[in-house]
Structure 1
């Protein structure tokens, strides 16, 4: 059965996001966003668990400008599988203002990895969410991680309930690591909760583990104004200021029942990073170091 016939297409983003009141620092980077299609040019994977409406580079860069960001890090979405063409196309259209994180077949050749580097990719993503991927072979992931171009890192997406079983795998990755959305802890437990404590222990295990303090819309079941998220995450930003990143997560895969307001998400940033210095580290210095090290 074709992808087009498998499921109705999903719209998961806010049609008219508000203009944030918070003025982002000059050079701010949206360090976690995606592009979908357009499907006519870049078909979705036959194994995709969801089929979104098109959300291409024109829409992404318009949102970037509306919110006040300067740059984007485009993360390959699971619906495109290991076909990174849509992400690479968006980078190519960004005039140097976007970088990418790819999803690759672990058997990818070294020459193909170099081609991705030339296209603006600076990392690969390992997804362990069972509802999104069918297979996550840790041994093969470690092998490809050992062959990454210089300066690349690994992005890992998992949920808090498998953190303990992920520790050995994470400890054996031979390059810097970025954890998506803090491993999705239960923020209702507060900053001293079991899952946040476990995540802090992981950060303390290696000095080269970074994390994205993003997605209150996914992690805070209480909803706006995301007070549980703010209370749990602000101490993390203050205690690990040199290893935190932030992103919109636009176009918010599989959030069709909520459709977060991206302007409102930006306005949470000064509640997480409460000083100008912390804001600059979170939004400029840290992502630039990972993705535009030539600057």
Structure 2
């Protein structure tokens, strides 16, 4: 583990907010264990081990029913840990993989059978090396045949340049962490409004209203992030998702308490109807469509 990397909270609180039955944690990860699932030699950071057993115990502790497990950059395009967790969870988890352009059709079919339903395109320069957009477009065309979608991760200053590419993708898109706005600028700043406008004109684009612990300047209880997430939940109630981001990779400011993160939910989705959409209806429609 990197010396400045903070491990996940050892004993998160029991949330005051009780999530509705069937709720989905739609953004979380598994790391390692490294002696079984080694980290990529090209990784930009080395996390602590955060195996599937810890994730599923957290799911139960927080009151969630299902997980969407996202491949993180420290494992590169080796999705073995992700697939192993999906096969263990069965129908209680779905996955978002990271794949190389030369992945075989056989491997794609195997990942689909395990529960992968999306691929992730990462544009955060401090986490990954740049990939030509033509490569991503080729991948998008292949996964479209499987009925998968695309999860994209970028930071707010890069959005303007990415918009033509995003609007060219042939499948639904889910943007991680609200496009990582600079919360010091406020909801009405043109940078965040550019993201809002993108969602308003393109019903193919969804967003996760997650990761206040990464976006905050003030720290817990994340008062400075609440207005951004609530604005998106209320403006696009049928295209928002929520997740813990456990085990909070590459955090260096503070150790988030996942129970405290759950208590943010009623502040960004204040009605039962909005909570139902955010935590159940939307993720089920995207990741478990056969059950909706």
Q: TM-score range by the shorter chain?
A: over 0.9
Query: In the alignment, is residue 122 of structure 1 matched against residue 117 of structure 2?
Result: yes
Preserved contact between residue 178 and residue 229 of structure 2 (Cα < 8 Å): no
Q: CA deviation at 1:8?
A: 4.9
Match in the other structure for 1:150: 146
Go from structure 1 to structure 2 and tell me whether the alpha carbon gap of 1:250 and 1:150 turns closer, same or farther (over 3 Å shift): same
Look up the SS of the partner of 2:225 in the other structure: helix
Match in the other structure for 1:168: 164
Query: In the alignment, is residue 221 of structure 1 matched against residue 245 of structure 2?
Result: no
**2:272 counterpart (271, 276, 293):** 276
Q: CA deviation at 1:256?
A: 4.0
- Report matched runs for 1:66-77 at 5 Å: 66-77=61-72
Q: CA deviation at 1:33?
A: 0.2
Is the deviation greater in 221-230 or in 62-71? 221-230
Query: In the alignment, is residue 110 of structure 1 matched against residue 105 of structure 2?
Result: yes
User: Residue deviations 1:210-262, cap 9 Å, x none?
Assistant: 00000001111111121111122212101100000000000000114411000
Q: CA deviation at 1:11?
A: 4.2
**2:28 counterpart (33, 36, 45):** 33
Q: CA deviation at 1:107?
A: 2.1
**1:84 counterpart (76, 79, 82):** 79
Backbone CA RMSD of aligned residues: 1.3
Q: CA deviation at 1:115?
A: 1.3
How many equivalent pairs are there? Answer: 290
Match in the other structure for 2:237: 241
Question: Hey, what's the Cα distance between the residues in 2 that align with 1:106 and 1:222?
Answer: 41
Question: Hey, what's the Cα distance between the residues in 2 that align with 1:61 and 1:106?
Answer: 31
Is the deviation greater in 229-238 or in 79-88? 229-238
Look up the SS of the partner of 1:271 in the other structure: helix
Contiguous gaps of at least 5 residues in structure 2: none
Preserved contact between residue 215 and residue 248 of structure 1 (Cα < 8 Å): yes
Is the deviation greater in 228-237 or in 62-71? 228-237
Question: Hey, what's the Cα distance between the residues in 2 that align with 1:294 and 1:9?
Answer: 43
Is the deviation greater in 125-134 or in 186-195? 186-195
Q: CA deviation at 1:9?
A: 8.7
Question: Hey, what's the Cα distance between the residues in 1 that align with 2:198 and 2:4?
Answer: 37
Preserved contact between residue 173 and residue 205 of structure 2 (Cα < 8 Å): yes
Q: CA deviation at 1:10?
A: 4.0
Preserved contact between residue 13 and residue 256 of structure 1 (Cα < 8 Å): no
Preserved contact between residue 19 and residue 63 of structure 2 (Cα < 8 Å): yes
Match in the other structure for 2:57: 62
Is the deviation greater in 246-255 or in 147-156? 147-156
Query: In the alignment, is residue 251 of structure 1 matched against residue 243 of structure 2?
Result: no
Match in the other structure for 1:178: 174
Question: Hey, what's the Cα distance between the residues in 2 that align with 1:133 and 1:110?
Answer: 25
Question: Hey, what's the Cα distance between the residues in 2 that align with 1:289 and 1:171?
Answer: 21
Structure-1-length-normalised TM-score: 0.95
Q: CA deviation at 1:119?
A: 1.1
